[in-house]
Amino acid sequence: MEPHLRTKGTNFYSIGLSYKKADAEIRGHFSICEEAKTAILNQAKQEGVEGLLVMSTCNRTELYGFAQHPFQLIKLLCEHTHGTVEEFEKVAYVHKNSNAVAHLFRVGTGLDSQILGDFEIIGQIKAGFKASKKVQMINPFLERLINAVIQASKRIKNETEISSGATSVSFAAVQYILARVPYVSDKNILLFGTGKIGRNTCENLVKHTKNDHIVLINRTRDKAEKVAGKFNLLVKDFDNLKEEANHSDVLIVATGAQKPTITKDIINTDKPLLILDLSVPKNVDTNVTELPNVTLVHMDHLSKMTDDTLQRRRVHIPKAEAIIDEVRSEFDSWMETRKFAPTIKALKNKLVSLKDAEINLQRKKMTDFNEEQATIISDRIIQKITNHFANHLKDENTSSDESIELIQKVFQIQNK
């Protein structure tokens, strides 16, 4: 059943791109920084877009909103990122109405994540919701839909084991280091950048490598010190980056810059150096691979590491999908009811006004008229008639748009 999503001649669309077809470089072109998110929302508001959710992570960039044509949303995305429409068309997807709703459910519940069962995405959806709400860009439909997705995500997390055996890009990075670097607890590990992935990597490094001299560098030292304090790491100044990089056996880059922060010029050591780039856009220039002693691995490669954990997780997909179907059907019922509720209300008001006029007339005509009894009977009949109409409109086989039009015509009513 296609939920009624149209409003004032618009449809609900999801437009975007993800790791499935777009590599890290192209995803980097469409990456939306916080300022750009605000600018997109404000411009959309000025252009009369009724509701919009903006989401950008290292694995995907997506816009969900109401538009007369999806190009309205594509244009907004391209105007506020480094991506072009031509580039977008090569790797993008556009989902409409019911399919856009289904897509948000899959994304929000980790079924569409690069690493199955990765629930970090729901945090991004909540943040996007908050940002849109702040500028009044969340309409009742989006509010109800996002809450339904959050509910489905919570249930899947609690009722299935789809996220068991912790794995994420940062976890995969540490597993990769453990598999490739012998005597890792004695090695010099430098972590550059303290974003979310950087912090998670710290935690995993400390937990799994038993290395007690991991060095942390961030552009702003106080941020690095906050993270370091939690995990008992050493903090060095940004000015020491070159020196520390050359002193390292493993360099993990988790910065959020728009251009590479690590290039070939920084490295002047001959000893083997493993560089892991966990950033989107890529923050390590591929020219480092011109150096024979350097091995460069990007997060896209790490995410393809299908281990036993991911195989075990796949078993839980059907259960997760059943939970989505359950929450989705409640949402669809709400949509249908919301669609015809104004007509039923208007019909009831029309019948009540007919009843009131008739009771007034009978009161004048009949001296022993029992108004109380007549009101009770009339109200019950009105309730039964409106129930019949409501059940008819709820029926899956009903073309509710046509029926609503007919009810309005017959009873000469208009939704307020």
Highest mean pLDDT pick, 27-31, 208-212, 392-396 = 27-31
Per-residue pLDDT at 38: 96
Per-residue pLDDT at 309: 66
Residue 237 has pLDDT above 70, yes or no: yes
Q: What is the CA angle 111-310-208, rounded to 5?
A: 120
Residue 307 has pLDDT above 80, yes or no: no
Residue 311 has pLDDT above 80, yes or no: no
The active-site residue out of 33, 58, 78, 202 is 58
Range list of H helices, 30-70: 34-46
Per-residue pLDDT at 4: 46
Residue 5 has pLDDT above 70, yes or no: no
pTM, two decimals, is 0.63
3 pLDDT band, cuts 50/70/90, is very low
2 pLDDT band, cuts 50/70/90, is very low
DSSP letter for each residue of 356-372? HHHHHHHHHH-TT--HH
**Strand 60-67 and strand 52-56: pairing?**
antiparallel
Residue 147 has pLDDT above 80, yes or no: yes
Say whether 202 is catalytic. Answer: no
Q: Which residues contact 246 (CB under 8 A, 6 or more apart)?
A: 266, 267, 268, 269
Length of the chain (residues): 416
In Å, what is the CA distance from 94 to each residue of 12, 23, 70, 168, 188? 10, 18, 7, 27, 46
In Å, what is the CA distance from 92 to each residue of 27, 87, 138, 175, 298? 10, 8, 24, 31, 22
- Number of other residues whose CB lies within 10 A of the CB of residue 92: 22
Range list of H helices, 252-370: 299-303, 308-314, 317-365
Q: What are phi and psi of 66, to 5 degrees?
A: -95, 130
